[in-house]
């Protein structure tokens, strides 16, 4: 029996993206000295959508990169088979305001790895985290998002997955972890 449930689907999904874009515009105005960095691989579809929508809303182009954190993770050497994504960082983040983007914030370990990896590209002036989903419970590290799409109070035994479709069938699903 499938006990999964859809937490967010269209058109609410698009409203969340739109709201996040307007919050970023409120905060960063002309995006001078600002860059957006997605955490590969799951943060990239979200960052792509947000970046594209910001330009549609008239924000001038600003630096955007994609950061792989595979070899910065604390579970890298724990026997788990990991596959790396491509890092696409054609800029330094020295003295820049960085918007770090990921799909689901759960334990905070991915964000910790991203912050460590980001240091190889300079010392940012400021880093803020944008998460589509904030799983408020079971955080292992003191990491909180600055921009939140939605908050979900999921149990430890539940899994939150963002399914990226073709911008007409995106959804966020909550389902029990398989034993």
pLDDT digits (tens, 9 = 90+) for 19-75: 999 999 999 999 999 999 999 999 999 999 999 999 999 999 999 999 999 888 876
* Token pair recorded at residue 97: 């305001």
Average pLDDT taken over every residue of the chain: 90
Q: Is residue 178 part of a domain?
A: no
Residue 119 belongs to a domain? yes
In a domain, 92, yes or no: yes
**Is there a domain that residue 146 lies in?**
yes
Q: Which domain holds residue 149?
A: 12-76+84-154
Looking at the domain assignment, is residue 121 inside a domain?
A: yes
Torsion, Cα 171 52 132 77, to 10 degrees, reads: 100
Residue 129 forms part of a structural domain: yes
Burial environment of residue 91 by CB neighbours within 10 A (0 to 12, 13 to 18, 19 or more): middle
Of all residues in the chain, what percent carry a pLDDT higher than 70?
A: 92
Q: Are the C-beta atoms of 82 and 76 separated by less than 8 Å? A: yes
Q: CATH code at 128? A: 3.40.50.2020
**pLDDT 10s digits, 76-133:** 666 666 778 899 999 999 999 999 999 999 999 999 999 999 999 999 999 999 999 9
Is the CA virtual torsion 4, 135, 41, 102 positive or negative? positive
Q: Is residue 167 part of a domain?
A: no
* Number of domain units in the chain: 1
Separation of alpha carbons 117 and 42, rounded Å: 16
């Amino acid at each position: 029996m499938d006990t999964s449930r859809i937490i967010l689907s269209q058109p609410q999904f698009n409203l969340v993206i739109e709201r996040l874009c307007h919050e970023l515009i409120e905060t960063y105005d002309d995006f001078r000295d600002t860059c957006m960095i997605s955490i590969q691989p799951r943060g990239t579809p979200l960052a792509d959508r947000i970046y594209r929508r910001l330009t549609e809303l008239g924000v001038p182009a600003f630096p955007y990169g994609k950061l792989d954190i595979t070899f910065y993770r604390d579970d890298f050497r724990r026997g788990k088979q990991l596959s790396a994504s491509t890092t696409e960082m054609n800029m330094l983040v020295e003295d820049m305001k960085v918007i770090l983007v990921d799909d689901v914030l759960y334990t905070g370990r991915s964000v910790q790895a991203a912050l460590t990896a980001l240091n190889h590209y300079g010392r940012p002036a400021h880093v803020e985290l944008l998460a589509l989903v904030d799983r408020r419970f079971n955080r292992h590290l003191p990491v909180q998002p600055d921009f939140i799409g939605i908050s979900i109070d999921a149990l430890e035994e539940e899994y939150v997955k963002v399914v990226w479709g073709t911008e007409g069938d995106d959804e966020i699903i909550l389902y029990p972890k398989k034993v």
